Amino acid sequence: MEEKAKDIITDEQQEYIINIGPQHPSTHGVMRLVVSLKGEFVLNVEPHIGYIHRGIEKMCESLTYPQIIHLTDRMDYLSAHINNEAVCLAVEKALEVDIPDRVKVIRTLMSELTRIQSHELFWASYGMDLGGQTCYFYGLRDREMVLDIFEETTGGRMIVSYNCPGGVMYDLHPNFRKRVKEFIKHFRKVLPEYDDILTNNVIFHGRTVGIGPLPLKEAIAYGITGPSGRASGFSCDVRKHEPYSAYDRVKFNEVLFTEGDSYHRYLARVEEMRESMDIIEQLIDNIPEGPYAVKMKPVIKLPEGEYYQRVETARGELGVFIISDGNKLPYRVKFRTPNFANLSVLNHLVKGFKIADLIAIFGSLDFVIPDIDR
Amino acid sequence: MRSIINYLKDIFWGVMSLLKGLKVTASYFWRPGAIVTEKYPENRKYLVMFERCKGELIMPHNDKNEHNCISCGICQMSCPNGSIEVIPKTIDTEDGKKKRILDKHIYRLGQCTFCGLCVKNCPTHALAFSTKFEHAVFNKALLIKVLNKPGSQLKKGVEQ
């Protein structure tokens, strides 16, 4: 009799394990979360990755340097241009090429536009994850203007493939300046609407304030970069600390908060859109004249050695590590992707919170799954 | 007493924040100009794409059915995923020399990732992107295309 009672008790205390994904709308891609629950509370989360693994790093070993660039579009597809830029900067660093000012400014402008459209999509999808369907329509509506700018200049909407070692593929479209100014004017007007709809909403506050706090020490220990890290007070903006392209000639603030909860991770991204607009406004009227690319050799061979370049994508620090043996193909390419590092903290953050908060925390870290799997 | 007042205050400001959001969404009823819906399949006839839009790879031909391709194979080499295959053939010219000309320029649309390296690297500007973006077909074999038109020739004056 006593034993039976014990069994019942242990049955009640047993963990209840469910799968979220791989085809779940709130994982924004193909990722499986194995969640152990006790009642409604999360005990443990185990992310199972690899559903969209394509072996990009291995593929790079059989491609020449200009060919690698189009693969990096497919890692973090929302910051495609910044990924392209990272590889180009690494190759240019290795070859010690002087890049014209015009190229630097073009790259910076495009990077910031990429950042804005990425954060807009974050805003849209985060709102939808937490039950605000309207956000999704408004976010995508404004993002469309940036995508049009990309399409006019580069020919691609998300997958831009605009960089090449030594510069960019084509010159800016004559309409570029006009369209960007139109967009900034429109977006300055619309951003307060975003605040009215979502940032100041009482339900949104209830779902995010104090949910999944990440102290500064742990953010550094886990290597959380990007807006998620800066929400915890980790000053990790590569644009500020190790300026590349034209970031050394613009003035902007690094958005820093100390709370580190879901709400501030969200807020850091919204504030970053404002900073990005400031950067674009500083540069758009003084794009220097000159060539849009340096003439490179038809076959690019890097001198033997190891090269590393880091850039700030919309989600954090992307590092490109190339080992060259002097051939036209790289010996090894390694991408330090921000999403993979940020994923490691998920289990730590959600412990003790409810399963609905798991969605809020997962959304606030803003994952792009192909970037995790590569 | 204070807690009750705070409780009511919370309710009041909560409702206010919801109304503020609703005001934004409601304002769009009076601003139909701000709505940007594209009625895609209906507006197909007058839909204008951007000129640089990477729809699919084409080989422009002029009125005399002439193209610029000298079958050098640079596009094939620069393509990262093997979607281009250039098949040359050799012919005897009038003055008795052998000449390498294009037989078939095969383009596999299903494999293409639209990186644009072929167009950029082409020395004679023989390739371009068209803005046609509706690629859906019922048969996979239709995605393998021959870009040079039947009976087409190399344009005179394009250097080999």
Q: Domain segments of chain B: what residues?
A: 2-36, 54-154
Average pLDDT, chain A: 86
pLDDT of B36 > 80? The answer is: no
> What's the structural domain count of chain A?
1
- Whether B113 has its CB under 8 Å from any CB of chain A: the answer is yes
Task: Tell which residue, A305, A333, A339, has the closest CA to residue A321.
Answer: A333
Distance CA A199, CA A122 (A): 13
- Whether B52 has its CB under 8 Å from any CB of chain A: the answer is yes
CATH number of the domain within which A365 lies: 1.10.645.10
Residue A33 is assigned to a structural domain of this protein: no
The fold for domain B54-154 equals Alpha-Beta Plaits (3.30.70)
Quote the percentage of chain A above a pLDDT of 90. Answer: 5
**CB-based contact A202 B116, cutoff 8 Å:** no
pLDDT, tens digit (0-9, with 9 covering 90-100), for A264-284:
999 999 999 998 999 998 888
A13 falls in which pLDDT band (50, 70, 90)?
Answer: low
A8 falls in which pLDDT band (50, 70, 90)?
Answer: very low
Residue A152 is assigned to a structural domain of this protein: yes
Q: Residue B138's pLDDT is what?
A: 92
Residue that has been written with the tokens 């590349």 in this structure: A244
pLDDT, tens digit (0-9, with 9 covering 90-100), for A71-126:
888 888 888 889 998 999 998 888 888 888 888 899 899 999 999 999 999 999 98
Structure tokens at A33: 């979360």
Distance CA A365, CA B6 (A): 33
Chain B interface mutation, best of A197, A199, A209, A333, highest count of B Cβ atoms under 10 Å:
A197
- Cα angle, residue A163 at apex, residues A237 and A151 outer, rounded to 5°: 100
**CB-based contact A202 B14, cutoff 8 Å:** yes
**CB-based contact A197 B24, cutoff 8 Å:** yes
A196 closest CB neighbour out of B20, B114, B115:
B20
Instruction: Residue A193: list chain B partners with CB under 8 A.
Output: 24
Q: Residue A12's pLDDT is what?
A: 56
Task: Tell which residue, A172, A88, A70, A144, has the closest CA to residue B52.
Answer: A172
Structure tokens at A259: 């709370």
Q: Residue A1's pLDDT is what?
A: 44
pLDDT, tens digit (0-9, with 9 covering 90-100), for A146-164:
898 998 888 888 888 888 8
Q: Which helix (H) or strand (E) holds A334?
A: strand A332-336
Q: Residue B21's pLDDT is what?
A: 83
Instruction: Residue B54: list chain A partners with CB under 8 A.
Output: 155-156
Residue A268 is assigned to a structural domain of this protein: yes
**CB-based contact A70 B53, cutoff 8 Å:** no
The pair phi, psi for residue A332, each rounded to 5°, is -155, 140
Distance CA A86, CA A101 (A): 17
Please answer whether residues B83 and B114 qualify as being in contact, where contact means their C-beta atoms are separated by less than 8 angstroms. Answer: no
pLDDT of A355 > 70? The answer is: yes
Q: Residue A321's pLDDT is what?
A: 92
- Look up the domain containing A195 and give its range: 50-373
- Whether B117 has its CB under 8 Å from any CB of chain A: the answer is yes
pLDDT of A7 > 70? The answer is: no
pLDDT, tens digit (0-9, with 9 covering 90-100), for B100-157:
778 888 888 888 888 888 888 888 888 888 888 888 889 988 888 888 888 777 777 7
Residue A41 is assigned to a structural domain of this protein: no
Distances (CA, A) of A192 to A119, A127, A147, A368, B25: 15, 15, 21, 26, 13
**CB-based contact B115 A67, cutoff 8 Å:** yes
Q: Residue B44's pLDDT is what?
A: 86
